[in-house]
Structure 1
Amino acid sequence: MNRSSLLIGAQMEDSTAAAAPYDVRYRYLAGGIRDAGVCSSSCSSACGAWWGCWQDMSQAPGQYVLSHLSGTAAAKWNGASRPQIAAITYYELLHGSKTSEGAAEVAAINDAPFLGRYLDDWRFLLQTIGSREALLHVEPDFWGFVRQVNSNPASVPAAVTAANPSDCAGQANTASGFAKCMIAMVRKYAPNAKVGLHASPWNYTVSGDGVATGAFMTALGAGDGDFLVTDPSDRDAGYYESIGQNRWWTDSSAAAYLAWSKAVTDAVGKPSVMWQIPLGNASQNNTASHWKDNRVDWLFSHLADVSQARVVALLFGAGDSNQTTPESDGGNLSAKTVSYQAAGGTSICR
């Protein structure tokens, strides 16, 4: 995206996006895909939870995404134009397949009628973006479940060519072919967008897992994309502590995460984006939407280490509705972002 400094962003409300010189603003697309022949030109109650009609029903399908793209492009800071990058997390396999996480979700990509609907939905998103710039984050968790099924994604069946012969005829009928098809569709329909697959850090403390994850992501086709995405935790540490789990970062575990991230990116040959980073901080009181965590403070105190790990963006957001958000964190993320940008940022390590 022609940026030379580590990017800072979040999933946030309009007021928060205007409260600091953020670089990126992301949104989730989840909840379900469009049924064939339904809601192709207008929205109605028949569209259900489909993201294409998350806006006023009087507007044409896709306006929710278009508003995100136009809003970020028109962003200001202190009264002056300062465009933000629009990022989109596409999380539809689980919801669209109406199955459970894990092996059942992976099996769904070998169902040609379902996969055809899914890739049609992906195409609609890409056509909506068109020539605009955007960051596209593809299916958090899913590729990790593929790896659990088989560490060789070329051995996991997927009905790719039957589902989308117009865009994917040259791809293998495997999980790798599926991933490569999704990336190739971005190049075709949204040529100025950047795309990245999600690399799950579930075993980042296990010796050698960074190299193994990198090998899996390479076999999957992640190198055809522009970046990788990782997520250090889906909930605040204070929340996990309330249910008897220790998920706090220490200097040692944080360093292990960055070492794991670098091993993955070195193997694939692409940088990474750290996404959905919990927003808790020491001033919170460990109640709903106000959980404690230390990742925000740790990361802003170790930005040179973050960059050395080939991380190019830090994107903060709540992984659940009752976690700390940029609106409930007492202004901590915005204040740190203001200070970070005023100091000139941290150079990306290329």
Structure 2
Amino acid sequence: MLLAVLLLFTSAPANLPLAARAAAARTPSPLPHDRLHFGLSNEPGDFGWLQASGVPFRYRYTYLSGGVNTNQGWETWNTPTGQYASYYLNDSQSFGAVPVFSYYEICQSNGPNGPGDPKCYQDNSTQDLANLGSAAVMNAYFANFKLLLDKASAFGGTVVIQVEPDLWGFLEQRAAALGKTTANAAPVSVKSSGYNDPAVTGTEDTARGLACSLLRLRDAYAPNALLAIHASPWGSGVDIASDTSPAVNAATEADKVATFLNSACLASNPFVGSTWDLVFNDLDDHDAGWWETGCGGCINAGHTHWWDPTNTAFPNFSRYLAWVAELAAKTSRPQVAWQVPVGNQYFLTMNNTCGHYQDNVAQYFLGHPADLFSAGLIAVLFGSGNGCQTTNTDLRADGVTNNGGAPTTDALGYCTACNTHTSVYADDDGGFLRIFVGQYYALAKPAAPAGVSAVPFSSYARVSWTAPADNGSPITAYRVTPYLGGSSAGTPVTYASAQTNQAFTGLAFGSAYRFSVAAINGVGIGPESALSNLVSIGSRLPVLPAPTSSPPPRPPVAHNPPASPSPRAAAPRALASQPPTTPRRAVATVPTAGHRGPADRLGGWRRGGLLYL
């Protein structure tokens, strides 16, 4: 599946009208998308951990939260006002990571229902919808968002702003309650908020108006910022991440979410402006082991937070990836998995206690990066979403722990007492992320195959090559591309096999082709080979070069017959046409083997969501 073109809004002249500035700003995105990349939650206090880890994480995220009218929001965390964002942007750039802000402000703001704390933690859906209807809250909200854009503009580099995780799922359900499927059905105080900026006053009082206003503000003040809308896996009313029913159709549920998001200025901006650049999604805001042992009976017959790594029972990874792939197809945007639980079932320290809860998502994701990338994901961002969840740092301050050498039995986790490895790191996850993400980035794409040759048949060509160096990750597939006259002639075919010859079918009789081959491993697709010899389909002989106008004379040939007749050579046996067999799906081999923000910034955030050896 081809990834959608990534878009970045770069600087445009400030004196142009809004529409012209948006059009002038659109250029290809610099976000890394050559293969799946990894990032993590990383607060300023944990920046030293990131630097010392030696792991080139490509993304680094933090929450911007606290409420827009509470005098406790992100803009107050450092001086001068908003400096927290500037510090974070600059530190991220110095490390080489793309900074990501999870902008989470509506729920924690003081509103008609009362203060964000504790109302947001008690029922964030009700608090969100009430605050969205308040002109006073929304006026302050737009001003706060404009402050962030000013900081992003001053920074000048690439920055991703993930706007309001969960909120769009609540709005989707609000529209559904009104019998609608689109964002213009959900009321929001936008134009009526009194925020005096044409980017806002030129829209409407709906969820669509909110989305388009934020995009128009970006166009006007920080075109270097990439904006991401959030797809909640429960937004359609069926929770892909926890529903145990085999009858759930992932594509159907993804289509419902995509319909709503596309109407929220993802497909187009009817008020003249840009559209969203990325689609984020979440899996869970707690580790699966916490739901089982620390939640007091949250597991029930209809829902579970353990995913089946064999992809037999539900929920499982195949269903999630089918949901993501459908979202990618219907939104035409790159996808990002965000706040992915950090727990693992590998290290002894994972004993299902506070800070050390087990999960299997990180292990599966690191074991199947090519599958995630094929589904449309360009990045996975690890991080805990609530207190007591597993983190990649020593947040518990308990040092190196290995549970007395005893593995932890987990009846529901598909892996009984398998966390048998001893950790040498104080990280609450035992060092799992630093070790295995580090190993992932130590690998490289395979080199280019050599010696590519082709033999023609009536409707196909048999293409052969020599396997290249795999650069540390076993080759699992090859991609063969046909060429006519030096130009690509048709869709490349990927063969999910390490076999070094394949029958390339569907070629035009009488046409002459060359072929290139690229190898694929767990890291990605390597460079293309040199082109093969030229072959004409329908002929068993390779196409010879055209003769020159004055061919050289043939040298004399001496005839010296043998003293006795030689045995007659057997006539060459005609090879039967052999179409390719159905390729087997290859499974990438993985070597054996985010810190959350302060609780007051994350508490009350709704649930949103192997390395098998």
TM-score by length of 2: 0.52
Q: Confirm or deny: 8 A CA contact 1:196 1:222 kept in the other structure.
A: no
User: Aligned-pair distance for 1:261?
Assistant: 1.1
Identity of aligned residues (%): 29
Q: Measure, in 2, the Cα distance between the counterparts of 1:266 and 1:184.
A: 25
User: Aligned-pair distance for 1:138?
Assistant: 0.6
User: Aligned-pair distance for 1:104?
Assistant: 4.2
Task: Give the aligned residue type for 1:257.
Answer: Y
Q: Confirm or deny: 8 A CA contact 2:279 2:334 kept in the other structure.
A: yes
Q: Measure, in 1, the Cα distance between the counterparts of 2:320 and 2:68.
A: 34
Matched, 1:298 2:328: no
Matched, 1:135 2:160: yes
Per the alignment, residue 202 of structure 2 pairs with 170
Task: Give the aligned residue type for 2:105.
Answer: E
User: Aligned-pair distance for 1:74?
Assistant: 0.9
1:15 pairs with one of 32, 37, 48: 48
Q: Confirm or deny: 8 A CA contact 2:152 2:224 kept in the other structure.
A: no
Task: Give the aligned residue type for 2:185.
Answer: S
Task: Give the aligned residue type for 1:158.
Answer: V
Q: Confirm or deny: 8 A CA contact 2:182 2:259 kept in the other structure.
A: no
Per the alignment, residue 79 of structure 1 pairs with none
Q: Confirm or deny: 8 A CA contact 1:103 1:149 kept in the other structure.
A: no
Per the alignment, residue 218 of structure 1 pairs with 262
User: Aligned-pair distance for 1:347?
Assistant: 4.3
1:263 pairs with one of 318, 323, 326: 326
Matched, 1:90 2:103: yes
1:159 pairs with one of 178, 189, 192: 189
Q: Measure, in 2, the Cα distance between the counterparts of 1:191 and 1:213.
A: 27
User: Aligned-pair distance for 1:162?
Assistant: 2.6
User: Aligned-pair distance for 1:145?
Assistant: 0.6
- Give 3-state SS (helix, strand or coil) of 1:221's partner: helix
Per the alignment, residue 80 of structure 1 pairs with none
Per the alignment, residue 420 of structure 2 pairs with none
Which protein is richer in helix relative to its size?
1
Per the alignment, residue 67 of structure 1 pairs with 87
Q: Measure, in 2, the Cα distance between the counterparts of 1:109 and 1:139.
A: 12
Q: Confirm or deny: 8 A CA contact 1:8 1:313 kept in the other structure.
A: yes
Ranges of 4+ aligned residues in structure 1 off by more than 6 Å: none
CA deviation map 1:223-275 (0-9, x unaligned)? 41111110011100110111332311113211111111111121111111100
CA deviation map 1:273-319 (0-9, x unaligned)? 10000000112010000000111110011111100110111000001
Q: Confirm or deny: 8 A CA contact 1:274 1:315 kept in the other structure.
A: yes
Task: Give the aligned residue type for 2:207.
Answer: A
Q: Measure, in 2, the Cα distance between the counterparts of 1:215 and 1:272.
A: 16
**Two-structure CA RMSD over aligned residues (Å):** 1.6
Q: Confirm or deny: 8 A CA contact 1:34 1:121 kept in the other structure.
A: no
Matched, 1:287 2:353: yes
Per the alignment, residue 250 of structure 1 pairs with 308
Q: Measure, in 1, the Cα distance between the counterparts of 2:266 and 2:439.
A: 34
- Give 3-state SS (helix, strand or coil) of 1:102's partner: helix
Per the alignment, residue 339 of structure 2 pairs with 276
Which entry has the higher C-alpha Rg, 1 or 2? 2
Per the alignment, residue 30 of structure 1 pairs with 65
Q: Confirm or deny: 8 A CA contact 2:99 2:159 kept in the other structure.
A: yes
Task: Give the aligned residue type for 2:307.
Answer: W
- Give 3-state SS (helix, strand or coil) of 1:21's partner: coil
Matched, 1:344 2:444: yes
Q: Confirm or deny: 8 A CA contact 1:154 1:176 kept in the other structure.
A: yes
Matched, 1:186 2:237: no
Specify whether residues 190 and 109 from structure 1 end up closer, same or farther in structure 2 by C-alpha distance, changes over 3 A only.
Answer: same
- Give 3-state SS (helix, strand or coil) of 1:16's partner: helix
Q: Measure, in 2, the Cα distance between the counterparts of 1:105 and 1:50.
A: 16
- Give 3-state SS (helix, strand or coil) of 1:214's partner: helix
Structure 2: 5+ residue runs without aligned partners?
1-29, 176-180, 268-274, 394-427, 446-522, 526-613
Q: Measure, in 2, the Cα distance between the counterparts of 1:285 and 1:156.
A: 44
CA deviation map 1:154-203 (0-9, x unaligned)? 11112211323412122122111101111221222111111111110022
Specify whether residues 247 and 2 from structure 1 end up closer, same or farther in structure 2 by C-alpha distance, changes over 3 A only.
Answer: closer
Q: Measure, in 1, the Cα distance between the counterparts of 2:73 and 2:375.
A: 37
User: Aligned-pair distance for 1:111?
Assistant: 1.7
Aligned length: 326
Q: Measure, in 2, the Cα distance between the counterparts of 1:111 and 1:138.
A: 19
Structure 1 range deviating more: 332-341 or 160-169: 160-169
Structure 1 range deviating more: 9-18 or 320-329: 9-18
Per the alignment, residue 36 of structure 2 pairs with 6
- Give 3-state SS (helix, strand or coil) of 1:285's partner: coil
- Give 3-state SS (helix, strand or coil) of 1:279's partner: coil
Q: Confirm or deny: 8 A CA contact 1:62 1:128 kept in the other structure.
A: yes
User: Aligned-pair distance for 1:2?
Assistant: 4.1
Per the alignment, residue 78 of structure 1 pairs with none
Specify whether residues 132 and 162 from structure 1 end up closer, same or farther in structure 2 by C-alpha distance, changes over 3 A only.
Answer: farther
Q: Confirm or deny: 8 A CA contact 1:278 1:316 kept in the other structure.
A: yes
Q: Measure, in 1, the Cα distance between the counterparts of 2:291 and 2:80.
A: 41
Task: Give the aligned residue type for 2:56.
Answer: P
Task: Give the aligned residue type for 1:294.
Answer: N
Structure 1 range deviating more: 281-290 or 145-154: 145-154
Higher relative contact order (CA 8 A, sep 6+): 1
Per the alignment, residue 307 of structure 1 pairs with 373
Q: Confirm or deny: 8 A CA contact 1:16 1:326 kept in the other structure.
A: no
Q: Confirm or deny: 8 A CA contact 1:16 1:334 kept in the other structure.
A: no
Q: Measure, in 1, the Cα distance between the counterparts of 2:41 and 2:50.
A: 9
Structure 1 range deviating more: 223-232 or 162-171: 162-171
User: Aligned-pair distance for 1:114?
Assistant: 1.3
Per the alignment, residue 44 of structure 1 pairs with none
- Give 3-state SS (helix, strand or coil) of 1:259's partner: helix
Task: Give the aligned residue type for 1:211.
Answer: D
- Give 3-state SS (helix, strand or coil) of 1:235's partner: coil
